[in-house]
Amino acid sequence: MWLYLLALLGLYFLRRWYRERQTVEYLTEKYVFITGCDSGFGRALARQLDARGMRVLAACLTQKGAEELQKATSGRLKTTILDVTSTESVAAATEWVKGCVGDKGLWGLVNNAGVINGPIPNAWLTKEDFANVININLLGMIDVTLHMLPLVRRARGRVVNMASMAGRVAVYGGGYSLSKYGVEAFSDTLRRDLIPFGVQVSIIEPGGFATPLVNTSSESLKAAWSRAPPDAREAYGQLYFEEIYRLLQKLHPLCSTNLCLVTDQIEHALTSCHPRTRYSAGWDAKLFYLPVSYLPSFLVDYMWSHIFPRPAQAV
3-state SS of 74-102 is CCCCEEEECCCCCHHHHHHHHHHHHHHHH
Q: Catalytic one among 4, 18, 26, 176?
A: 176
**Interacting residues of 297 by C-beta distance below 8 A, sequence separation 6+:** none
3-class state of residue 123 by DSSP? helix
Q: Is residue 208 a contact partner of residue 282, using CB atoms and an 8 Å limit?
A: yes
Q: Are 282 and 260 in contact (CB under 8 A)?
A: no
C-alpha separations of 165 from 12, 208, 303 in Å: 26, 9, 17
What are the φ/ψ torsions at residue 11 (nearest 5 degrees)?
-65, -40
Active site residue 31: no
Residue 158 is given by DSSP the state: E
Residues tagged active-site: 176
